[in-house]
Structure 1
Amino acid sequence: MGVPVSDWRWGRPCAALRPYVHGYIGYRMSGYRPGTHQGLPGRHLRLVVSFAAPVEIVRMPDPAQSPTTVPMMVGGLHASPATIAHHGEQAGVEVALSPFGARHVLGVPAGALASTVADLAELLGSRAAHLPERLGAAAGWDERFALLDRVLGEALTTVPPAAPEVRHAWDRLVAAAGRIPVDDLAREVGWSRRHLAKRFRSEVGLAPKTAGRVLRFERSARLLRGTPGTRDLAAVAYSCGYHDQPHLNRDWRALAGRSPTEWLAEEIPNVQDSSPADPPGLGP
């Protein structure tokens, strides 16, 4: 095992994809000790195309589902971690897809992919033929991102948009990082709480209350990643709308499978360490 090396590259999708795709990240890591890392809940569906070893998911977000190994995958929104094995080397590209972009890019609503991992080849069909090999053979990250622009651009379809009430509720939750009561959302859109939950879950894949919980968790993870040496868990808990630090720890154990302190100590750098939602200029 050599000295650990990691290489990351951001990519912005072409204009036609920007309403649906929030960013690309290319990654190449080598020299790490084999192990596992957690695929954490967040606001995006994540499309991963590996041009090294296939993606090996040893525990699905829904543990009732069987593990799988695929060269390219899409993970729907989820409220528990996926466990991904690695053998010390990883290389590929991840795409951050908006829940409302799933219909347009993949041909199915995000709700159909909730808490699961699907084979991307089955959703994209012949457009994705040999995509891992083509990405691996490309001259560099810019050429890889341009290839993804072509493949995903060709997959775009015109479909009826999500109900504006659902979109409004989602946008409000994202803007507030999950810190808005569901009753307030229901009043704003003029629906009952029960009807909003049903329609929201069908489109997005999570109920509004669970989506808010995931968004609070996502923000806490971003704060913990971004402030090495100054990780005051009580301050992070307060900033993200948790009642206290024990509340933060309980949510982390449910959503990440470990406490924040354990996660920070155990995780190797991985593609989620810097989400494609983070760079300036990319949408929420």
Structure 2
Amino acid sequence: MAGAELDWAVSRPHPALRALISRYIGYRQDGVLLEVHRGLPSQHVTLIVSLEAPVRLLEMPGSDQRAARCQGLVGGLHTGPALIAQDRLQAGVHLEVSPLGVRTLLGVPASELAGRVIDLTDLPRPELAQLPERLVEAPSWARRFEILDEVLLACATSSASRDSRATAQQPPGEVRWAWRRILTEGGAVPVSQLARDVGWSRRHFSERFAREFGLAPKQAARVVRFGRAATLLRRLPPGGLAEVAQLCGYFDQAHLTNEWRALAGCTPHTWIREELPFLQDAEVFTGPE
């Protein structure tokens, strides 16, 4: 991307929000030539506010999602690439939201967002709908991150102050524990083992897990493992794809490639060639969670 202008900023949220949100990422790019971006499956629910033209979602494979234009949006957990049209100039703020924080911050369970992209104006949090205007008017990344803290702390506080039904609707401790275990193990943990560890039958465990996240535990583990591979591909290790496959628990390089075709819609080599030059600095996405 020779000659392109890049501007990135990364911040951790307020300490009271860090169990719910990993990072805020601000970005501005001028000179993007890739016309369609693949939004890869991730362990995060993604909240994006554009500071320029609306985000244009073209397709969410495997879903009944319609094409959409949103100034602010949230994308749930998904198992295929979200195809997004790109302009030469684009800028915005990208939030990595834990699925365990979705009810508290957005007012809906993560399962309602799975495989879909929702406009912020369609969420039961009117303060989120005001974010695009407020962030566009802010003079700096630092001020934008402060506004995010203010708004999201208000959402969390409002959720906590509601009646006891809010607490009752939170995912059970067994489901929260299982999600964190999947993350810790990089997706390489059998569903049967998770069910045994929480003391439930595999069927009951899978049903309760899917009820909260919109993905079965096996799908969630697959997405987490894929996400780990995507992180390693941004800084390809000396052993190349074979080493990535080994580190992430795939049978071999062919297994890794097949998973990328299924979840990203292309091979790892194609993604590296087409997407990597236009993505945020590798430091942004390989830094600590």
How does the TM-score come out when normalised to structure 2?
Answer: 0.91
Structure 1 residues 27, 20: closer, same or farther in 2, change over 3 A?
same
For the 8 Å contact 1:224–1:231, the answer to whether it is kept is no
Q: What is the aligned counterpart of 1:241 among 244, 249, 256?
A: 249
Task: Please tell me whether residue 204 in structure 1 is matched to residue 213 in structure 2.
Answer: yes
Q: Give the Cα–Cα distance (whole angstroms) in 2 for the partners of residues 223 and 2 of structure 1.
A: 24
Residue of structure 2 equivalent to 1:126? 126
Shift of 1:18: 1.4
Map of 2:224 onto structure 1: 215
Residue 193 of structure 1 pairs with residue 202 of structure 2: yes
- CA distance in structure 2 between the aligned counterparts of 1:171 and 1:95, rounded to whole angstroms: 19
Distance 1:102 1:254 in 2: 26
Query: Percent identity, aligned pairs only?
Result: 47
Runs of 4+ in 1 over 6 A off after TM superposition: none
**Residues 117 and 129 (structure 1 numbering): CA distance in 2 closer, same or farther, change over 3 Å?**
closer
Partner SS for 2:16: coil
Instruction: Give the Cα separation in 1 of the matches to 2:221 and 2:284.
Output: 18
Which amino acid is the alignment partner of residue 181 of structure 2? R
* Higher helix proportion (structure 1 or 2): 2
1:91 matched to 2:106? no
1:65 counterpart SS class: coil
AA partner of residue 32 (structure 2): Y
Give the drift of 1:206: 1.1
* CA distances 1:106-143 after superposition (whole Å, capped 9, x unpaired): 11111111010001122154313442232122121110
Question: In the aligned structure 2, how far is the partner of 1:133 from the partner of 1:274?
Answer: 29
Query: Does the alignment pair 1:232 with 2:240?
Result: yes
CA distance in 2, matches of 1:272, 1:17: 24
Task: Give SS of 2:26's match.
Answer: strand
* 2:265 aligned with 1:257: yes
Instruction: Check whether the contact 1:124–1:155 (CA below 8 A) recurs between aligned residues.
Output: no
**Cα 1:79–1:34 shift into 2, 3 Å:** closer
Structure 2: runs of 5+ lacking an equivalent: 161-165
Q: 1:75 aligns to what?
A: 75
SS at match of 2:56: strand
8 Å Cα contact 1:20-1:101 kept in structure 2: yes
Match of 2:17 in 1: 17
Measure, in 2, the Cα distance between the counterparts of 1:275 and 1:169: 27
Is the Cα contact below 8 Å between 1:72 and 1:119 reproduced in 2? yes
Matched, 1:169 2:178: yes
Give the match for residue 148 of structure 1. 148
Alignment of 1:23-62 (within 5 A): 23-62=23-62
CA RMSD of aligned residues (A): 1.9
TM-score, normalised via structure 1 length = 0.93
Do the aligned partners of residues 62 and 273 (structure 1) sit closer, same or farther apart at CA in structure 2, a change above 3 Å counting?
farther
Partners in 2 of 1:44 and 1:275 — Cα distance?
A: 15
Per-residue CA shift, 1:86-108, capped at 9, x if unaligned?
11111010111100100100111
State whether residues 25 and 93 of structure 2, in contact with CA within 8 Å, keep that contact through their aligned partners in structure 1. yes
Number of residue pairs the alignment of both structures matches: 279
Aligned equivalents of 2:76 and 2:22: distance in 1?
Answer: 15
